[in-house]
Structures are given as structure tokens and as C-alpha cells.
Chain A
Amino acid sequence: MPISAPEPAKRETLLVARGIVAGYGKLSVLEGVDIEVRAGEAVALLGPNGAGKSTLLSALSGIIAKSAGSVHFAGADVTRATPQQAVRAGLVHVLEGHHVFGPLSVHDNLLLAAFNAPPGERAARIEEAYEAFPEMAERRHLRASALSGGQQQMLVVAQGIVRRPRLLMLDEPSAGLSPVLVDRVLAVAAAMRARGVSILLVEQLVEKALGLADRVYVLARGRMALVSESAAGLAPAAIERAYLGGEALAGVQP
């Protein structure tokens, strides 16, 4: 990865997105969104339904096209990168709603996540994922469609590990999971951060997200309604207002 010398103030930023406009067909969901993630930090991206959180992740990972804005990742311009290029650079997007490949085995699902890894490295990466989720190792020959919803969610997070991210973007990993499993999945995310992987977490369970995150963004109706430098010091009332009202509150970029 060629890294051009960054400005001193931005030395640690891993992902910088500016003025992202994106949507589906004629409907633009994001209307100029800025977001930054620094190396090794966990960022929570919150917001009411339909605010555009998933759209933002998809725009960042190149799954949907952006009609305006720029994305820089690890110093390189990835605005026009394909999802494959994003994955190769370490920008990994775990979709919401356990998108596993039902007819394929658990192991094959992980092998596909290692598509862009050097062939010699694939087995080692999959082992890493099995270590994080031993129940996947036990079920490696089972068809993914035979897994429970919670196990499928583990599998897609495991697929995230296999892609060996520098930034792991998790979209609603708690959806449809029991509280115990939610903690498991978030613990894996925390462990990855401890190893230096940045996390960008979209989550409906606000308190869980705040427990993990260093910083918080709140997106409402296609715009950033709130940016907080500290997850701990955030008043619940402020989030609530940003959710229900949708008006911009604090929200100045650092």
C-alpha cells in the first residue's frame, strides 16, 4: 500500500470520507456525509431507521456508487475502488442481515471470504476465524442454511475476520441475536480492536454500541446530526433528540 506522507494532524486517520452523496436510483439517501475513522479506534454510527447508515457503509465499501464525495483509505484514494479493491486494501464490510451462502458449507463460506488472500494463506486465516468462533469449527461441514440465525451472524463476522481487515465495518451485528450472542460478537470486535483493527459499528442497541466505541456519529435523514468525540460523555438526551427530531445538534468535525 503506497502511503503518501500525511499531514501531521491527520497522521492517524485511516478512513476519511467527505461529502458523500449516494442513494438508489432517483432517491438519494445520503446528502453530503463526512466521516473519519482513525487507526485502532472503534467508532459507533447510530441513527434512526432509514437514516442511511447501511447506505453509507455500502458507499464506503464500493458496493453502491457515489454520485459525489471522496473516500480516502490509508492514504490512498478509494473513491472509485471496486469492492474487491476495497477488500484488498483492508476496508472490509460485513453486511447486515446474515447474508450467508445457504447451499454452501460453513467452511466454503469462509473460503470464499478468503478469495483475495494468497492461496497459501487461506487456511491460516480461516483457522483464525475458527479460533474466534469455535462453534463454526465444529460445524464446518454443515450447510450454512442449516445454521441458526445467531450462528449465521457469527459466520458473517467470521467472514469479516478472514478478510483480515484494517477497518472492519459491522452493520447491525446484533440483529436477531440473543443478548448472550450479542456480547460474544461484540467481544470479538473488541478483541480485534485490541489487535489494532479499527471498527466502524452500526448498531441499533445504542448502549452496547456506546460500550464499545471511542467516538460516536449519529446520522439522521441522510446527514450527520451529531458527532461526539467521546462516547462516554454523551448525554442520552442528545442522542434521543437527534433520533426523534432529526435536527442537527452539536456536530462540528474536529
Chain B
Amino acid sequence: MKAPTALRPAATIIAGALLLATLPLFLNDYWVHIATLAGTYWVLVSGLDLVVGYAGMLAVGYGGMLAVGAYTASVLAAKAGLDPLLALACCTVTGVIAGIIVGIPGLRLTSFYFAMATLGFAIIVTQVALAWGSLTGGGIGLAAPAYADPFASTGGFYCLVLIIDALATWLVWNIASGNPGRALIAVRDADVAAEAVGVPIARLKLSVFALSGALGSVAGGLFATAQSYITPDAFTLDLSVLFFIAVLIGGRGRIVGPMIGTGLLTLLPEIAAPLVAWSAFVYACLLLVVVLLAPGGIAELLERLRRAPPPIDRMAGPEPEAMSAALVSAPRAAGQLALAEVSRAFGGVRALDGISLTLAPGTVHGLIGPNGSGKTTALNILSGFYAVHSGRIRLGEADITRTSVQARAALGIARTFQTPRILGEASVIENVMLGAWRHAAASFGEVALGLPRFYRDERALRAQAMAALATVGLAAWANARADRLQHSEQRFLEIARALAMRPGFVLLDEPAAGLSAAEIENLGAIIAEMRRLGLGVLLVEHHADFVFRISDQVTVLATGRVLAAGTPAEIRAHREVVHAYLGA
């Protein structure tokens, strides 16, 4: 990937905006109306892109948001006599409420269930509109607000839509390219990784649902005026599906793709007149084709064409000396991280049975044992993914037995996973910046509005992430897609992400699995540097030789109990350990 000059995208955007703004000059009113519709839809789709494309939530029923906004604007203008622009502004309020109503089930429900719930939401909104005739006119409908000059004419209204389009795109772009966007992709592709770096998943999702609800509702307000008269019939399932498909055809996790998708889908029935009756069928066909042939959408197809071949010398040597820059400040000496008499069972099987273990800053603690001996369970308990059934977990003086995963991340406990949990469709550096999530100062709102703190955060996080990548030897890959890395490189990427958290403790879950001999050497050098800088490292590993070589302390587990603990030399001499391994 080449670094594009800053001018080119800016020039493209300005040229595109000018072209769009001057459309009314050379199109007749009908086509301006179609363009207005497309623009209206984009206001909704831009927000939906965050929900579907970034967060990966299958929200099918966003036609409901359009209805909420259309009725808000029309009822307030017609019944309360509000100025149409003010009524449009009020749409954001009802939209936020509707977004949160859809979002709350979205915190618990997954995939099909959530898709079903959103479809239900779309049905409910129109049914309520039908039933609540005194307010909405029921099946007879309601006149939409008409704007005063300069937005009264077809062209004028089109320009209003364009202004709101620009605003929506700006908000969504900021969210998508900043910290929230990376966290959303993590929630979608590797939710446990998002949790492990401390992303407050529920709050983030609700913020995004609120924003997308507001945008959808504003789109509804505009849609009402574009249609000039609304009835519940206007909000068909087809519309919901159109919005949803626009995001998917465009390509999830991107902005330009869904924008093109929205335009195409709005135009499709117009340019092929016989298709009008068939348009819903064609949308559905397109959805199937996209899902089966190009799940990443148009944007992914384009990107595949642009891909640079991988460097021949894939992985440069690591530069452990860069680690202190990656950690920014010296790790806090938070005291020791300790398990005391911890037990945990799974369905009657005791995975851990009274384990005690201490991890001191500035040491490497190896944890070995046969399959099913409880190594990974111990790591999951330390990082907070499993609750203990008895026993305590302490960090220094503090009892963190009941502390959540996210809160433990904030206390400086970082981890990697046995199977690397990476964001395959994001770039390598974005994966690492995700780790630094907690060190950004800007709030969701500040990011959306692009306030200065957002840019300062981005610069600082990027610099820190580059240092972390240099540490593990992946700096040359910073801008490549993470799923192009080999499995072993993904393990190093996870370590870089853990470093970006600026942790006091790093828990490594089988970091050497699948690594070549040379890569294991590099891993050893990185771990040694962690120790030198005062980090406490827990090393869960099958590769006993490696553990003995680099650990200060080794604990051997067997069937959930501590079989032996001591220095590597003591453990090597321990006959029982050899027996546990060989089962004799």
C-alpha cells in the first residue's frame, strides 16, 4: 500500500461535492427528486453502516427508524405547528430513543435473533402508526412538513439534504476512523479481544445505536418531505432491506462502499423501468450474490485488486529496545498478581482445584502441564474471563476476585490468546492501536465532532503503536491487512497489542505454538525485554524447553493442582514432573 498524498482525496471530495451540488442545474425535477431520495437514504445508511458494517450487528429493520423520523417531523409540524427545521431537529431526540430501544436487545441477542428483533421493530412502528390514528392519521396518513425558502423548491430541498448528508458523513467518518471504529470492528470480529483490552462493549454499542437512530430518524424527517405525504404503507419491508443491502453491497467496515451502494440501489429501478415490479426481487438476488461470492462487498473486491505482493523478507527482526517507547511510561509497580487457593469447576469437572500462584513484576513465570491440567483456565481466571468458585485473586493489596475483564485491563493486566484474536479486516497498526484504547482522551462525542483532542489522540496512539510493532518486528507490515499475516506473525501482533495497553502484567497463552525455531528466539528476546522493563510475564506454554530456558519461576499443573513449583533447575530435576508428562 502506498501512502496517498493528502491532496488527492481532498480534491476528489471537493470535486464530488461540487458535482453533487450542481446537479439541479442540469437535471429535471424528477431526477432531482430521485437524487434527493438517494441523499435521504444515505443519511440513514451512513449510520446503519456503523451498526451493520462496523459493529457487525445484523439490524435488518431500519425502515422503522425512517418511520419514526417521518412521523416525528410530520406530527410536530402539522399538529404542534413547529417550524419544519425545528421539527427536523427534534427527530434526533426520537431517533436516539428509538436507537436505544433497538440497541438494548442488541446487547444480549446475536445474529439471527437480533435480525428478527429488528424486523419486529420495523413492523411494530408501522402498526403503531396505523393504530394511533388520532396522532398519525392512521391509514389515511398525514401531510409532511413543507420547508420555507430557500429549501422550498425541489432544488432547494435537495441542497438541504446534501448539507445534512455532508454532516452525517463527517460524523460517521470520524467515528469510523477513530478509536470507536476500531473498537467496533473488534466487537464484531474478536469480541473477547475487545473485552481484554478494556472496551466497554455495552456503552459503545448503545452510543452507536443512538447515533444511528438519530441519523435514521432525521432521514425519516427528510423522507416525509420528499414524499410530501406519508402513510404507514410507505415504510415497507423492501425499504428496510434496501438499506441493509446497501451497506452489505458496499462492503462492511467502509464508508465509500455503502455510499455507492445507496446510490446504485436507489437508481436501479429508475434506469431499468421494467424492473420496478421486480426491484425487491433484484435487491434480494443481489444480497444473495454478494453474500455467496463477495462477502466483503464491492469495496473488498476493489481492494483485492489493489493488493501489493507481500515483502519477500516477511518479518524483520524484532527491536526489543523499542519496547520502552511502546510502553510510554515505566510500568507501574502495582505489587504482585496472585491467585490464592483458587478453584473452578466446569459441569462437575474440577478444572482448578486450590491453585496458588504469584506473579511478581520483573519476572517471568512459566506455567506448564499436560492437556486439561488447567493452565489456560488459570490464565482465564487471572484475566477475568472466568469467575472463580472459591479462592481469591489479588493485585498488590487490592482484592480483584470480582473485578470485570475490562476493569482488570485498566489495572494493567494484558493477555494474548491461544488462537490469535485479531481484527483480520483492519490494518496491522489498527489492531495495535486497539490495544491503546484506554489511553485515548476524547469522548465518543468529541470523536464524532472531530474536536482537536481526537486528532491528538490519534497521533499519540499511532506513534505508540508503531513502537510496539517495531518491538515485535512487524513495523514493515503496519498498513497491511492483519489477515494477510501468517499465523506466527499474528501471535507477535497480539503481543504488540498487549504492549500497547501499557500493562504491568502480560499473560501469554501458548505464544510459541506454531512458531519456527528462529521466531521462538525472537519471542524469547521480547519476553526478556519485558522482564527487564519490570513487567510481570505469565507464560503458559507446551514447549517445556523454552519455558525452562527463559523463566525465573516455573509452576507445573496436573489435573487442576500444583504438582511442583520452583526454579527451572528444580523442576527439571523433579521426577514427578517427568512422570506427569510421560504418564508413567
Q: Which B residues are CB-close (under 8 A) to A50? A: 371, 510, 513, 542
Contact of A244 among B486, B510, B514, B545 (CB under 8 A): B545
* Residues of A participating in the B interface, judged by any CB pair closer than 8 Å: 25-29, 48-50, 175, 203-208, 221, 236, 239-240, 243-246
Contact A204 B370 (CB under 8 A): yes
> In the assembly, what is the distance between CA of A49 and CA of B371, in Å?
6
Contact with A along B472-494 (1 / 0, CB 8 A): 00000000000000110010000
Question: Contact: B583 with A207, CB < 8 Å?
Answer: yes
Which listed residue, B542, B545, B578, touches A245 by the CB 8 Å rule?
B545
A26 and B513 CA atoms in complex are apart in Å by 13
List, in ascending order, chain A residues with CB within 8 A of B544's CB: 48, 243-244
A243 touches B582 (CB 8 A): yes
B581 near A26 with CB under 8 A, answer no
Contacts of A175 in B (CB 8 A): 372
Give the B interface residue count (CB, 8 A). 19
Cβ distance B512 to chain A, nearest Cβ, rounded Å: 9
- 7 inter-chain pairs at a CB distance below 8 angstroms, sorted by A residue, are A26-B490, A49-B542, A204-B371, A206-B582, A206-B583, A244-B544, A246-B545
Complex: chain B residue closest to A149, CB-CB: B349
B510 contacts across to A, CB distance below 8 A? 50
Contacting pair B513 A240 (CB below 8 A): no
Q: Is the CB of B543 within 8 A of A246?
A: yes
- Docked pose: A206 CA to B580 CA in angstroms: 10
CB of B584 within 8 A of chain A? yes
Complex Cα–Cα for A25 and B583 (A): 31
* Complex Cα spacing A50 to B514, Å: 10
Encoded as 1 (CB less than 8 Å from any A CB) or 0, chain B from 357 to 380 comes to 000000000000011100000000
Complex interface: chain B residues within 8 A of A240 (CB): 578, 582
With a cutoff of 8 Å between Cβ atoms, the chain A residues found around residue B490 in the complex are: 26
- Give complex CA distance A25, B510 in Å: 17
Residue of B nearest to A207 (CB): B584
Docked-complex contact B584 and A205, CB < 8 angstroms? yes
Using CB atoms, name the residue of chain A closest to B546.
A246
Minimum Cβ distance to chain B for residue A209 (Å): 9
CA distance A10 to B139 in the complex (A): 83
Within 8 Å by CB of B581, from A25, A28, A244, A245, lies: A244
- B419, B486, B542, B584: which contacts A48 (Cβ < 8 A)? B542
* CA of A54 to CA of B136, assembled, Å: 65
Within the complex, the shortest CB–CB distance from A98 to chain B, in Å, comes to 12
Which residue of chain A has its CB nearest to the CB of B580?
Answer: A204
Q: Which residue of A lies closest to B515 (CB)?
A: A221
**B542 partner residues in chain A, CB cutoff 8 A:** 48-50
State the 7 A-B residue pairs at the shortest beta-carbon distance, nearest first: A205-B583, A50-B542, A204-B583, A26-B487, A49-B371, A206-B582, A27-B487
Contact of A49 with B370 in the complex, beta carbons under 8 Å: yes
Which partner residue on chain B sits nearest A26 by CB separation? B487
State the CA gap A208–B490 with chains docked (Å). Answer: 39
Set of chain A residues within 8 Å of B583, measured between Cβ atoms = 203-208
Q: Measured between C-beta atoms, what is the minimum distance from A175 to chain B in Å?
A: 8
When distances are taken between beta carbons in the complex, the residues of chain B under 8 Å from A26 are 486-487, 490
How far in angstroms is the closest Cβ of chain A from B50? 28
**Complex formed: what's the CA distance from A221 to B371 in Å?**
15
Q: What is the chain B residue whose CB lies nearest that of A243? A: B581
Shortest C-beta distance, B574 to chain A (Å), equals: 12
Q: Which residues of chain A have C-beta atoms less than 8 A from B582's C-beta?
A: 206-207, 236, 239-240, 243
Write the nearest CB–CB distance from B478 to chain A, whole angstroms.
Answer: 20
- Taken together as a complex, chains A and B put the C-alpha atoms of A165 and B183 apart, in Å, by 51
In chain B, positions 526-584 with a C-beta closer than 8 Å to chain A are 542-545, 578, 581-584
**Which one of B371, B372, B486, B584 contacts A206 once the chains associate, using CB atoms below 8 Å?**
B584
Could you tell me the distance between the alpha carbons of A142 and B543 in the complex, rounded to whole angstroms? 42
CB neighbours (8 Å) of A207 from chain B are: 582-584
In angstroms, Cα B372 to Cα A238, docked, is 25
Q: Give Cα A25–Cα B490 distance, bound, in whole angstroms.
A: 13
Interface pair B514/A27, CB less than 8 Å apart: yes
How far is A48 from B513 in the complex, measured between Cα atoms in Å?
12
Closest partner residue, chain A, to B541 (CB atom): A50
B171 to chain A, nearest CB (A): 36
Closest Cβ neighbor of A203 among chain B residues: B583
Taking CB atoms, residues of chain A closer than 8 Å to B513 are 27, 50
B369 to chain A: closest residue by CB:
A49
Within the complex, the shortest CB–CB distance from A56 to chain B, in Å, comes to: 15
